[in-house]
Chain A
Amino acid sequence: MRRRTIAVASGKGGTGKTLVATGLAAELAGRGFTVTLADCDVEAPNDHLFFPIELHGAPVEVPLAEADAAACTRCGVCRDVCAYGAVRLLGDVAVVFPELCHGCGACVTACPAGAMGERRRRVGEVVRGSTAVGPGRVHLVAGTLDIGEVKAPDVIRAARRSAEEAGSDVIVIDAPPGTSCSAVAATRGADLLVLVTEPTAFGAHDLALAAELGRALDIPLAVVENRAGSGPVSVAAWCSAEKVPLVASIPFDRAVAGAYAEGRLPGGEVRALADALAVLADHVTGEAVLV
């Protein structure tokens, strides 16, 4: 089949994205596919905990504007073209604030004195490694944002580029929570957005937001309910009203949490979880989704 990119997202944090993403990757590898699991939750990547893989990395660098004090004429053009308020005239020179600079290059292009340049600045790293799982293989790619840095989307895009290069049948993206720039960077262009939710008011609220994100990005949606039976909300009713397929339901079961907490790959000994992941894998590879 043609390579498919499946993004696993949620809106609300802690609903089970990592459980579903790692479990789906393992299930697909168990069917003989080569799967790239791209951990794009770059502020707290943890997919690697489930795979005994030696990982090797490369830094992620972004351009950062820099003013040459000797050449600066204090004309203010750089400040005026900066859409992010990152360049300010202070004292005798233009000053770039790295936390605000997006590296767009507008000031470099606009400066009439040729005083603005760029250097590369590290904001994180992308590591990768590979292991056989059953008859298939899992390539793990994980982005990590450096502590104190804010440019998560740059690290996420780098992780996704690395995932594209791995040459697999399926890319499973473990997206960050929320619906901000990071979630957009992790899900844009995916073939399917799997939304993991829980039957709580908070879960339902953020499921609606995440669905809105998927629709804005024109990605087909599928819902996986986690901890089914743990709260008062009917995920099935929401899915029915919104015409989104509820693909699988993972029961609220201490055994699921126990295996997960011990770092064992989801599936295996917990039958209901394995069944849910198998149904999700069917949906991901099935005719209904294939274009």
Chain B
Amino acid sequence: MKVAVSSLGTDPDDRVDDRFGRAMHFIIVDTETEEVLRVDNDENRNALQGAGIASAELVAEHGVAAVITGHLGPKAFHALRMAGIGGYRGSGMAVDAAVEAFEAGTLALLSEADEAHGA
């Protein structure tokens, strides 16, 4: 399965970016093949509006099943749900550690109730 992690940098030991829509980069990890794909998110990061849903579309087009980030705005949350993608909280972790924690099932699932108020 593929997992997209919002990341401050392009290396797997860089930290998870708390922002999803305006994340610096996405690091997309295939947990079966261990293949790693780096996607610069500069276009969405600098969008005037709709960054969250544009980023949701971007990760959906890469066929990911889950997103690891810090926070999802209500529109991004809605867009990911439309695409059948779950969001998990990886605040403060390194990208590779977050993916390991996700595989181990220890990351918290982001819920709408937690997220909708902070947009």
Contact = CB atoms under 8 A, between A and B. Distances in A.
A binds B: yes
B83 interface: yes
Contact of A91 (B50, B54, B84): B84
A90 B63 CA distance: 10
Contact of A85 (B54, B60, B82, B83): B54
Interface in B56-110: 56-57, 60-61, 75, 79, 82-84
A91 B60 contact: yes
B49 A95 contact: no
Contacts of B79: 88, 90, 95, 97
Interface string B3-28: 00000000000000000000000000
Contacts of B1: none
A90 B53 CA distance: 9
Contacts of B49: 84-85, 100
A95 to B, nearest CB: 5
A79 B75 CA distance: 17
Contact of A84 (B50, B56, B82, B84): B50
Contacts of A89: 57, 60-61
A250 to B, nearest CB: 38
Interface residues of B, number: 14
B56 A85 contact: no
A88 B84 contact: no
Contacts of A212: none
B46 to A, nearest CB: 12
A contact face: mostly helix, strand, loop, or mixed: loop
Nearest to A86: B50
Nearest to A82: B50
B57 to A, nearest CB: 4
Contacts of B53: 85, 88, 97, 100
B47 interface: yes
Contacts of A68: none
Interface in A149-200: none
Contacts of B84: 91
A99 interface: yes
Nearest to B78: A97
A85 B47 contact: yes
Interface string A49-89: 00000000000000000000000000000010000111011
23 contacts: A79-B57, A84-B49, A84-B50, A85-B47, A85-B50, A85-B53, A85-B54, A88-B57, A89-B60, A89-B61, A90-B57, A90-B60, A90-B79, A90-B82, A90-B83, A91-B60, A91-B82, A91-B83, A91-B84, A97-B50, A97-B53, A99-B75, A100-B50
